[in-house]
Structure 1
Amino acid sequence: MNEHHQPLHLFEGFGVELEYMIVQRDDLRVLPITDMLIYDEVGAYLSDVEFGDIAWSNELVLHVVELKTNGPADTLKGLESKFQWHVRKINEMLLKYNGMLLPTGAHPLMNPYTDTRLWPHDYNTVYEAYNRIFDCRGHGWANLQSTHLNLPFADDAEFGKLHAAIRVLLPLIPALSASSPILDGKVTGLQDTRLDVYRHNQDRIPAIAGKIIPEAVFTKKEYDEQIFQPIFKAVAPYDTDGILQDEFLNSRGAIARFSRNAIEIRLLDIQESPAADIAVLRAVAGVLQVLVAERWVALRHLKEFKEDMLAGILLDVIREGQQAVVTDPGLLHCFGLRGSGSKTVGEIWQHLIRETPELEDDPAVAYILHTITSRGNLAKRILEATGENPAEQKIQEVYRQLAVCLQKGGIFLHDKPC
């Protein structure tokens, strides 16, 4: 984002990335053919293929394809239809392989130790370095499909404002986006299992992911001193060729990409359709704009929160979703909830959506967000459909319905077809 252009100011552009798994249509087994998909379209094993506003790219593993905005989009409005067109195009191309795209943050039945194949083409040197150090066959590497939102900043002052706002909102985001309640064929007891395995995938070098919530740093210099340099120092004994000594190594839930003047929010599970993803992203971006504008509290108040406290709330939300409770009056004050006692994260989101008029003014987005805050995030709705102790056949049935929602661009409710 903005690597070769004049940096954009806050909220002047939006970069979106959506990751989908490729599976077999009949039994949902992992299908590692992303390279064949790209080859069928362009006649070469490329890492990135551009189609005007949208591009496709590979990921670490051969069974995941990423759809992304080709550079920053001016607005999030309308992006869902562009992504949806490409979802349908890819599904049509996958028919000859008996394949299709599968949504949600984690495949509920995948065995990552037998099903994982790494991308073998260009950029493979980086992937092999990760694999050598961390063994990328686990769920935390091979089975975690996410949605990323990139937001620009023009200078150090704007970076500080944006990073301060993102840090306080990060712990609450999975309450909307969690979509991974089943792993290894079993209900895990967590609403966001993808995020839980993600936060442990680099335990061998804890500095890389930290506490997922980034440290309270608000300038490029502070970020380099307190985040980048400790990461690079910690990985150096394992990365003697310096392959991973880059800002992409940082695995916090939001990472600063100074090379392109953007912060990338990475902790959202992917939803059942682009329409749902863009609605969630519009809620996140809308609330961040309100926070940066200091409508409820001054910027200095947003900067007061240390990562330990915020990380504690994040762990509650990973487990309980919208039922997690926030008791800290200072944090509630940040969101315009003064003197109101404790609130569930679901209640906080209902308030935040009401306080962001552009969300309520768009009927399609308002419907999706109302569904999420009234019927539950996708993880909760999946469990309503499967039950708490589902057989493999039931899991396959429900996830095939989710694949239908992805193809149709609908919203998943177990008692209502997409």
Structure 2
Amino acid sequence: MTRKLHLFEGFGVEMEYMIVHKDTLHVLPITDKLIYDAVGAYLSDVEFGDIAWSNELVLHVVELKTQGPVQSLAHLEEAFQRHVQQINQMLAKYDAMLLPTGAHPLMNPYTDTSLWPHEHNAVYEAYNKIFDCRGHGWANLQSTHLNLPFFDDAEFGKLHAAIRVLLPIIPALSASSPVLDGKITGLADTRLEVYRNNQEKIKSIAGQVIPEAVFTKADYEEQILQKMYKDIALYDPEGTLQEEFLNSRGAIARFERNTIEIRILDIQENPVADIAIVQAIVAALKALMSEKWVRLEVLKKWHEDQLASIFLEVIKNGQNASILDTDFLALFGYTANESTTALKLWQHILKETIDTEVTPGTAQALHHILTHGNLSHRILKALGEEPSEERINQVYQQLAKCLQEGIMFIPDTLC
């Protein structure tokens, strides 16, 4: 049995990428072929030492993840980058490549969606039967997940309290999905907008994405998990989905492995940017949990309705979102008696916390994001106001190059 870890003794990171044609960017449902080429079987998970590859719901997405918890985030981006390049090399024979960002800008999910047909596909078929997975909220959303351990109820309560108040502002750093169906959507984080509505049929599954104010396993079971299981039972008579993974909040408790999984990060243009944002989140959580700015009891008092209103503003406006609630700003030691933007709040948070977390590579990536804007902001700058499909293709080809080479996206480098 794996030893239970205490707070911040381990980290699990997962990154999802779409497989597309290298010239047209058309979605290619060949994740099974990729895995078969690697190991000679259609498996759901294949391990390669420090990093594993796995399938997702749809056949055009591959997930890279740490093989179990790692002790440190330092230089973790280097391992992910190696695997990105290995996969791209393997995909070359299909004229294919990996595409970053939280959503494909041109995909038609109603014609381009194929579900994973192999191992464990009963779960995917159950989802498809209930919700019809041919939609952006199911088939076109690529994210980075961060798993953080807790040892017992006391640690769970602290971690959940800190994560809940941080969730609303995370998309200010991580938004990377401003385009859908070939059009600028007007939202910084379109992936999260479709994500939060994709299970509207059974509202208790995602709630308001910001989790409810529950801080013990017993309360979580009663107020979140059991309600969810009860509500889906009518649609899932075999009980296929009566598991913790059904929970679609922005951070979900996985008591089976004593972790909380943060799920709201759009994937970035390369692993160093993803790990930089993960390190920023960890630094902020450590400060919140150490009561650097306010007591934990103050964090626990925040209702999900209050936090969700801030979250929706950040989904829409990203780094430029106005945060008007000075009580919320005070949670992070931001004492100005006026509103500020989400970006300025992050600049304040990281100025007081980040030095202990980053390595030179991720520090440079984080500086790039804080100085030049999150990826969604930079994509919009590169596209212009009413981009053609040709222009969109050009910009996202450059993003794929950034992924392959491990470099940051700079809109001014596009002609």
TM-score normalised according to structure 2 size: 0.98
Give CA deviations for 1:260-303 in whole Å, capped at 9, x if unaligned.
Answer: 00000000000000000000000001110111111111110010
Is the Cα–Cα contact under 8 Å of residues 213 and 307 in structure 1 kept in the other structure? Answer: yes
Judge which range, 332-341 or 216-225, deviates more.
332-341
Matches of 1:362 and 1:325, distance apart in 2: 30
Q: Deviations over 1:52-74 (max 9, x none)?
A: 11000000000000000000010
Do the aligned partners of 1:105 and 1:270 also contact (CA within 8 Å) in 2? yes
Name the amino acid aligned to 1:233: K
How large is the Cα RMSD of the aligned pairs? 1.0
Sequence identity of aligned pairs in percent? 66
Selected match of 1:279 from 276, 290, 295: 276
Look up the equivalent residue of 1:114 and give its one-letter code.
T
Q: Within 5 A, what are the aligned runs for 1:301-312?
A: 301-312=298-309
The runs of 5 or more residues in structure 2 that have no matched partner are: none
* Alignment pair present for 1:334 and 2:336: no
Counterpart of 2:111 in structure 1 is 114
- Structure 1: 5+ residue runs without aligned partners? none
Residue pair 2:75, 2:359 contacting (<8 A) in 1 also: no
SS at match of 1:95: helix
2:337 and 2:187 map into 1 onto residues whose CA distance is 28
Call closer, same or farther: CA 1:128–1:329 in 2, change over 3 Å.
Answer: same
Q: Which amino acid aligns with 1:375?
A: H
Contact 1:177 1:270 in 2 (8 A): yes
Cα distance in 1 for partners of 2:400, 2:12 equals 24
Counterpart-to-counterpart distance in 2, 1:361 and 1:381: 23
Match of 1:380 among 374, 377, 380: 377
Q: Deviations over 1:352-384 (max 9, x none)?
A: 111114268633222212221221110010011
Residue matched to 1:165: 162
Any residues of structure 2 matched to 1:100-111 within 5 Å, and which? 100-111=97-108
Report if aligned partners of 1:18, 1:148 keep a CA contact under 8 Å in 2.
yes
2:66 match: 69
Aligned partner letter, 1:176: L
TM-score (norm. length: structure 1): 0.98
Q: Does residue 394 of the first structure (1) align with residue 386 of the second (2)?
A: no
Question: Which residue in 1 is equivalent to 2:4?
Answer: 7
Q: What secondary structure is seen at the aligned counterpart in 1 of 2:17? A: strand
| 1:137 paired residue among 125, 134, 137 | 134
- Using the alignment, how far apart are the partners of 1:287 and 1:49 within structure 2? 33
- 1:343 to partner: Cα distance: 1.5
Structure 1 distance, partners of 2:171, 2:189, is 7
SS of aligned partner of 1:179: coil
Deviation, structure 1 residue 416: 3.4
Instruction: Name the residue aligned to 2:205.
Output: 208
SS of 1:199's equivalent in the other structure is helix
Partner of 1:348: 345
Q: 1:96 to 1:257 in 2, by over 3 A?
A: same
**Paired residues for 1:37-116 under 5 Å:** 37-116=34-113
Structure 2: distance between partners of 1:259 and 1:96: 40
Q: Secondary structure at the match of 1:150?
A: strand
Question: CA distance change for structure 1 residues 357 and 142 in 2, over 3 Å: closer, same or farther?
Answer: closer
Q: Which of 308, 321, 325 is matched with 1:324 structurally? A: 321
SS in structure 1 at match of 2:256: helix
Aligned to 1:255: 252
Distance 2:304 2:161 in 1: 11
Report if aligned partners of 2:52, 2:64 keep a CA contact under 8 Å in 1. yes
**How many residues were matched structurally?**
414
1:19 matched residue in structure 2: 16
Offset from partner CA, 1:390-417 (integer Å, 9 cap, x none) = 0000000000000000000010011237
- Alpha-carbon distance, 1:388 to partner: 1.7
Q: Give the equivalent residue in structure 2 for 1:265.
A: 262
**Matched residues in 2 for 1:323 and 1:29: separation?**
32
Q: Distance in 2 between matches of 1:162 and 1:367?
A: 28
Contact 1:178/1:192, CA 8 A, preserved across alignment? yes
Aligned AA (1:60): L
User: Amino acid of the residue matched to residue 291 of structure 2?
Assistant: E
Quick one: which amino acid aligns to residue 126 of structure 2? Answer: A
Structure 2 residue 30 is the aligned partner of structure 1 residue 33: yes
Match for residue 177 of structure 2? 180
